[in-house]
Amino acid sequence: MESYSQDTKNILGLQLVTDPRWVNLAAISLEDILTDHAWCEQKAATTCISLIQRYSDKALLVEKLSPIVSEEWSHFRMVIRELKKRNLPLGKQRKDIYVNKLIEFQKKGGSPEERFLDLLLTMALIEARSCERFKRLSEGLEDEYLRGFYRKFMESEAGHYTLFITLAEKYLPKDKVRKRWKDWIEYETELMQHMEVRGDRIH
C-alpha cells in the first residue's frame, strides 16, 4: 500500500492510505456504502452522548462534544435523505470489524485516566480514518454529486479528529498523549495491512 506524504501524516497521523481498490468496490455497491455510512454517523453521535454521560464532570468535554452530537446526527439525516433520493432503503446495521479491533486495543486495566485517554484516541482514530475514506470517495467516484457530497464529510471529520486529540491534551500531559497516540498509529497500521478490502463498509 502507498505511504502518505509527510503533510498528510501531519494532518491525519495515519501511516497507510486505503487500498485504491476500495473506491471501485464501493462504487459498485453504493446502497451498501451509504447504509454503512448512515450507521457510522449514528454510532458517532451516540458514542459522544455516552462520553458526555460518563464524564459529565469534565466541563470542557461536555461543551465541545455537545455540538458534535448534533452534527453527527445531522450527518445521519443527510445520508438518510441521500438514500431516499435514490429510492434505496436504510439497511440493517452491520458489525464494524475495524472499530471492534480498535476497541480490543483499549486498555482494560490501568488507571481511569489511561482508559479515558484510550476512549478519546479511539474516537480520534475512527474520525481520521473516516476522513481519509471520505477523501478517497470525493476523488475517486464517477458520480460528480457524490464526490461533492463526500468532500463535505471529509472536511467535517478532519475537524472532529483534531478535537479529540485536543481534548486529550487538555486533560492529560501532552507527552503522554503523544506517546500513546504513537502506539495507536502503529497498531492501526498493522490492522490496515491485514483488513479485508470490502466495498460495503466505510471502515
CATH (domain of 83): 1.20.1260.10
Each of the 203 residues of the chain gets a pLDDT tens digit; together they read 333 334 334 445 788 888 888 999 989 888 999 999 999 999 999 999 999 999 999 999 999 999 999 999 999 999 999 999 999 999 888 888 999 999 999 998 889 999 999 999 999 999 999 999 999 999 999 999 999 999 989 888 778 888 999 999 999 999 999 999 999 999 999 999 888 888 888 98
Q: Within a domain: residue 10?
A: no
Collapsing DSSP to helix, strand or coil, 16 comes out as strand
Q: Are 203 and 40 in contact (CB under 8 A)?
A: yes
Q: Within a domain: residue 170?
A: yes
Q: Within a domain: residue 55?
A: yes
Q: Within a domain: residue 13?
A: no
pTM for this one?
A: 0.90
**Among candidate residues 164, 169, 188, 146, the one with its CA nearest the CA of residue 9:** 188
The count of structural domains within the chain is 1
Q: Within a domain: residue 17?
A: no
Q: Are 43 and 1 in contact (CB under 8 A)?
A: no
Return the C-alpha cell found at 24: 471501485
What is the span of the domain harbouring residue 113? 23-90+100-194
Q: Within a domain: residue 76?
A: yes
Q: Within 55-111, where are the H helices?
A: 59-85, 97-105
